[in-house]
């Protein structure tokens, strides 16, 4: 049998594509070497947010007197927090398995490898995939092998017992102290989690601000909030070497040793381009990922690539949209992928979120813009729910009234940023967005207020 679509990798890109393809009548097969759900469900988005939610509940209980509630002797049980995280992951991965069945998608658990097709005279242009010693043929192939953690060549790293995000998710006890190497989104989310549960957290970041890519002013405000909670930051600082429980850092030529119970390495992720027979086909690369066009086709038109493998966005929601675009293209619909309004969110407490362009980007592009900015305290709902919370909503507007970027610090930035995302994607003018009716009282009203 020749499948219409074969998919390698069952993360957000792969399972979204499989479900959509199956529901639209394409004979679809998906290969996954571990567990359906990929990094996102099993060791990324969902487990981290489940842990962060437990930390938030713990913090709220300790903080409850401010809201007129007394909770005494508030404690947490890490084994129960981890068990709940595992339960959530199991529930959601089971949901993905059910979706595959409901959509008529065949799922094969095993490592899939593209067969060497260079020497094959194939009239039908199909691609062959080997998995569990069986060969499968497909008219179209979608590569969604995701990404893996980057281990930088720091002196002593090979001999040191460090955590990556994967080990940090399943730790058996809360370390007394933790040095996090890398102040990006993943590092800062873990900093927030461990700090809330009582670990002395130190973040070492090579750049001059945490959360590169997010609005710098808001990132600095978040850093101040986290500093007040006891997290120590070393910015513009390089890690020179690591050795068991010591991290040697250097700033402006001065070296210093940080003593720590644990080290969490979190300096980024890179696309997985090995282990699935990429060497057997010839596809162009771009940066450290696979090159794709606006329909997610690689340099071979019937081979598509979506998600982290392109090395472009490394976010689950981008992967999902890319998968939809790829499948729609296979189905003959010509919807192009748009990267104009991809929200970025950091699920710390408080949350920070942004969509569209940052001031740094606009300045580097030489685009003129105006800043509209308001403290979150202008939202009644925010004040009702945040006794001490600071926060900011910042909107960047072009000279002709287009919304260029929206950046929010304050809960629940992750939920309200979608309003701004829709406005930017659909090209709404600031006046048009302001004319919308926002339910009252909601924190989202801050967008209308700011405009």
Ligand X SMILES: Cc1cc2nc3c(=O)[nH]c(=O)nc-3n(C[C@H](O)[C@H](O)[C@H](O)COP(=O)(O)OP(=O)(O)OC[C@H]3O[C@@H](n4cnc5c(N)ncnc54)[C@H](O)[C@@H]3O)c2cc1C
Which residues carry out catalysis? 440
Q: Does 145 bind ligand X (CB under 6 A)?
A: yes
Residues in contact with ligand X, total (CB under 6 A)?
36
Which listed residue (3, 5, 7, 10) binds ligand X by CB under 6 A?
A: 10
Q: Does 315 bind ligand X (CB under 6 A)?
A: yes
Q: Does 270 bind ligand X (CB under 6 A)?
A: no
Only one of the segments 65-73, 315-323, 386-394, 424-432 lies at the binding site for ligand X (rule: CB under 6 A); that segment is: 315-323
Count of residues for the chain?
Answer: 451
What minimum distance in Å lies between the beta carbon of 254 and ligand X? 32
Q: Which residues contact 253 (CB under 8 A, 6 or more apart)?
A: none
Which listed residue (105, 144, 221, 443) binds ligand X by CB under 6 A?
A: 144
Q: Does 171 bind ligand X (CB under 6 A)?
A: no
* Helix and strand counts by DSSP (H, E) for the chain: 13, 23
Q: Does 21 bind ligand X (CB under 6 A)?
A: no
Which listed residue (93, 147, 297, 430) binds ligand X by CB under 6 A?
A: 147
Q: Does 348 bind ligand X (CB under 6 A)?
A: no
Query: x/- contact string, 375-414, with ligand X (CB under 6 A)?
Result: ----------------------------------------
Q: Does 275 bind ligand X (CB under 6 A)?
A: yes
End-to-end Cα, the chain, rounded Å: 57
d(Cα 128, Cα 294) in Å, to the nearest integer? 25
Q: Which residues contact 330 (CB under 8 A, 6 or more apart)?
A: 4, 5, 21, 26, 140, 304
Q: Does 12 bind ligand X (CB under 6 A)?
A: yes
Q: Does 443 bind ligand X (CB under 6 A)?
A: no
Helices (H), 346-441: 359-365, 380-385, 413-425, 430-434
Check: CB of residue 27 under 8 Å from CB of residue 140.
no
Q: How many angstroms separate the Cα of 159 from the Cα of each of 172, 181, 267, 285, 400?
A: 22, 16, 18, 33, 57
Which listed residue (308, 328, 351, 359) binds ligand X by CB under 6 A?
A: 308
Which listed residue (5, 6, 22, 48) binds ligand X by CB under 6 A?
A: 48
Strands annotated E in 144-278: 147-149, 177-181, 200-204, 232-234, 238-243, 246-251, 254-259, 262-265, 269-271
Q: How many angstroms separate the Cα of 278 from the Cα of each of 14, 19, 118?
A: 17, 25, 12
Binding site for ligand X (CB under 6 A): 8-14, 31-34, 38-40, 44-45, 48, 111-112, 144-147, 165, 186, 272, 275-276, 307-309, 314-317, 319
């Amino acid at each position: 049998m020749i499948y219409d679509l074969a998919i390698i990798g069952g993360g957000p890109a792969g399972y979204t594509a499989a479900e959509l393809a199956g529901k639209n009548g394409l004979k679809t097969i998906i290969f996954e070497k571990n567990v359906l759900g990929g990094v996102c469900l099993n060791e990324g988005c969902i487990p981290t947010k489940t842990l962060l939610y437990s930390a938030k509940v713990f913090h709220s209980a300790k903080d409850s007197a401010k809201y007129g509630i007394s909770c005494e002797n508030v404690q947490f049980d890490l084994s129960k927090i981890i068990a709940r995280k595992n339960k959530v992951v199991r529930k959601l991965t089971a949901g993905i398995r059910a979706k595959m069945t409901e959509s008529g998608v065949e799922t094969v658990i095993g490592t899939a490898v593209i067969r060497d097709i260079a020497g094959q005279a194939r009239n039908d242009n199909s691609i062959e995939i080997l998995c569990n010693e069986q060969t499968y043929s497909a008219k179209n192939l979608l590569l969604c092998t995701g990404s893996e953690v980057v281990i930088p060549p720091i002196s002593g790293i090979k001999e040191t017992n460090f955590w990556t995000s994967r080990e940090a998710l399943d730790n058996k006890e809360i370390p007394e102290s933790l040095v996090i190497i890398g102040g990006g989104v993943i590092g800062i989310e873990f900093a927030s989690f461990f700090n809330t549960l009582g670990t002395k957290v130190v973040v070492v970041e090579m750049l001059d601000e945490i959360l590169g890519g997010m609005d710098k002013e808001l990132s600095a405000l978040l850093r101040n909030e986290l500093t007040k909670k006891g997290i120590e930051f070393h910015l513009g600082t390089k890690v020179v070497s690591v050795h068991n429980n010591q991290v040697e850092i250097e700033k402006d030529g001065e070296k210093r040793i940080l003593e720590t119970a644990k080290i969490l390495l979190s300096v980024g992720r890179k696309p997985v381009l090995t282990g699935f027979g990429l060497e057997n086909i010839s596809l162009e690369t771009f940066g450290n990922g696979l090159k794709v066009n606006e329909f997610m086709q690689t340099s071979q038109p019937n081979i598509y690539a979506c998600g982290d493998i392109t090395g472009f966005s490394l976010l689950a929601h981008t992967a999902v949209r890319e998968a939809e675009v790829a499948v729609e293209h296979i189905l003959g619909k010509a919807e192009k992928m748009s990267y104009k309004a991809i929200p970025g969110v950091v699920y710390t407490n408080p949350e920070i979120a942004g969509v569209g362009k940052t001031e740094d980007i606009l300045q580097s592009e030489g685009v003129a813009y105006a800043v509209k900015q308001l403290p979150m305290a202008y939202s009644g709902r925010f004040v009702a729910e945040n006794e001490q919370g600071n926060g900011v909503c910042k909107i960047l507007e072009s000279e002709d009234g287009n919304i260029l970027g929206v950046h929010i610090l304050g809960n629940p930035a992750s939920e309200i940023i979608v309003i701004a995302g829709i406005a930017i994607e659909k090209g709404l003018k600031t006046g048009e967005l302001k004319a919308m009716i926002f339910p009252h009282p909601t924190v989202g009203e801050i967008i209308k207020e700011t405009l």
